[in-house]
Amino acid sequence: MLAGGQSLMPLLAFRLARPTLLVDLNRLGAELGGVEAEPGGALRIGALARQRAVERSGALSVLGEALALVGHPAIRNRGTVVGSVCHADPAAEVCAVALALDGSLELRSIRGRREVAVDELLTGPFSTAIEPDELAVALRLRPPAGWRWRVLEVARRAGDFALAGVVAGVDPAGGDARLAVFGAAPRPYRLDGPPAGLAERAAAAARPSGDLHGGVAYRRHLVGVVARRALAALGTDAA
């Protein structure tokens, strides 16, 4: 499936992906491009809704905040929100938002339709439970009422994939929090609970891989830093 092509085209250019059949979704904008608020507070984002359009729509501020950190505007003009989830980059901001907001992906094939929770969907780095014959038609996000969110990451340059990042939220009373950590493990992971100690738990759960941009210990340390900072910015006394 070719959506925005911002991940797939480089894979093709590097000859890392050599599909025998490529389905270009881009003429299905009318059918798959929508973003709708559903009764019950969920947001349904169609497969061809571009990252930049969703960011600018203001439909969901935490998603907008996360998208602003995805690459650069030119990339977001083409890249799709759903494509980012399907691509399952461990450092993808969108996957972490989807995980934090109990997201699920609506999949269709000639065999029928199914809805898979993002937590089950993401099976590892760049791998998902999507079957080869399935098309993701929409991402459904379920932001809990009244929660406040913050997205923070550390990257070497503005727009780079994060060395470590976090989507953090607190409930209106400030007693319950969620963290979805990205860039620090084979797939994003989530921790729920009272804010105190949550950042330390997040750092302890990190399974980063080291590379020339940062070693394992450094990246684990960064998880703690961004988690603490995000929770502090949300007014919790986690730090």
Ligand X SMILES: Cc1cc2nc3c(=O)[nH]c(=O)nc-3n(C[C@H](O)[C@H](O)[C@H](O)COP(=O)(O)OP(=O)(O)OC[C@H]3O[C@@H](n4cnc5c(N)ncnc54)[C@H](O)[C@@H]3O)c2cc1C
Footprint on this chain of ligand X (rule: CB under 6 A)? 1-8, 25, 47, 70-71, 75, 79-80, 82-84, 86-87, 89, 92-94, 130, 135-136, 161
For another protein, which stretch binds (CB under 8 A), given 21-29, 76-84, 184-192, 206-214?
206-214
| DSSP run (H or E) holding 21 | none
CB of 113 to another protein, least distance (A): 35
Taking the least distance from each CB to ligand X, the nearer of 55 and 93 is 93
Q: Which of 54, 130, 137, 222 binds another protein (CB under 8 A)?
A: 222
Rounded-to-integer distance, Cα 207 and Cα 190, Å: 13
List the single partner that 14 binds among ligand X, another protein, none, CB under 5 to 8 Å by kind.
Answer: another protein
CA nearest to 167, candidates 201, 203, 194, 191: 191
Site residues for another protein, 66-95, by CB under 8 A, read: 72
The item of ligand X, another protein, none sharing an interface with residue 222, based on CB under 5 to 8 Å by kind, is another protein
Q: How big, in percent rounded to 5, are the helix, strand and coil portions of the chain?
A: 35, 25, 40
Nearer to another protein (CB atom), residue 161 or residue 189: 161
CB of 146 to another protein, least distance (A): 30
List CB contacts of 94: < 8 A, sequence separation 6 or more.
Answer: 51, 63, 66, 67, 70, 81, 84, 85
Q: DSSP per residue over 146-167, as a string?
A: T-EEEEEEE-SSTTSPPSEEEE
Residue with structure tokens 């559903």? 38
Residues forming contacts to another protein in the complex (CB under 8 A) are 10, 13-15, 72, 154, 156-161, 163, 211-215, 217-218, 221-222, 225-226, 229
